[in-house]
Structure 1
Amino acid sequence: MSEKKLAEDPIGEDARIDTLDERLKAAREREDKRNQPRAKGADASYRMGNRVLAELLGGLIGGAAIGWVIDLVAGTEPWGLLGMLALGVIVAFRNIIRISSRPPE
């Protein structure tokens, strides 16, 4: 009698397989959602942040380099370096303000 009941009752195994299939499907959906490309807004913000950093570093390094060369040629240590460094900072901040005041694309 127990053999007959086991042959007629495959529901227990099918229910487990069905729930396993549902869990696998949910896991695949979560994985697909996680692997989707990031939003364009985050990418644009990242690029703008890199551009602002490049403007700031370029102004500082460029001003310092030009000031150092002026000091070597004219012999005005440290005033050429300090003056051109200040000018580089001013130009860098002007460019950063100009970048940040642009309307978003």
Structure 2
Amino acid sequence: MKGSRKESLEERLQRLDAELAKRRTEDNADDVAEEKAAESRKGYAAAMKLSSEFVAAIIVGALLGYLVDRFAGTAPWGMIVLLLLGFCAGVLNVMRSAGMVASPHPVDRMAGRDAAGKTNTNKDGA
């Protein structure tokens, strides 16, 4: 009688171990899926940020161009020039946000230093 109890206990322990192993693998799979989803959300957020910065710069350039043309009577040149400037500003903003172009440090801009860190000492700016 003791032998059958011990055998049934061992069988139950083996089934329990198998069930626990199965649940652990399911939990690990859920964790991996959640990590992939979080990474996907981060990528989507970055894409929305970059695209909205680009579009906003173009729209601002176009609106300013329209206003210049409207009040100065320079149609269509104000719109063309400021639309192109807005496009360039949008590209620069996207490149800065993506980390491809570093924005100059405010101290360097105020001190008159160039990108290599050298101070511009010539009076003629060369």
Instruction: Output the TM-score relative to the length of structure 2.
Output: 0.53
Distance 1:96 1:61 in 2: 15
Q: 1:101 to 1:44 in 2, by over 3 A?
A: farther
Distance 2:43 2:7 in 1: 59
| Partner residue in 1 for 2:112 | none
Q: 1:79 to 1:15 in 2, by over 3 A?
A: same
2:10 counterpart of 1:18 = no
Give the Å deviation of 1:50.
4.6
| Partner residue in 2 for 1:52 | 50
Q: Unaligned 5+ residue runs, structure 1? A: none
User: 1:36-74 CA distances to partner (integer Å, 9 max, x unpaired)?
Assistant: 6957xx959954x45533432222001100111122223
Q: 1:9 to 1:98 in 2, by over 3 A?
A: closer
| Partner residue in 2 for 1:70 | 68
1:77-92 counterparts in 2 under 5 A?
Answer: 77-92=75-90
Higher RCO structure (Cα 8 Å, ≥6 apart): 1
Distance 2:33 2:4 in 1: 42
Distance 1:9 1:94 in 2: 73
- Specify the code of the residue in structure 2 equivalent to 1:101: V
- Specify the code of the residue in structure 2 equivalent to 1:13: R
Q: 1:13 to 1:51 in 2, by over 3 A?
A: closer
Q: 1:8 to 1:53 in 2, by over 3 A?
A: closer
Q: 1:96 to 1:74 in 2, by over 3 A?
A: same
Give the Å deviation of 1:83.
1.8
Structure with the higher fraction of residues in helix conformation: 1
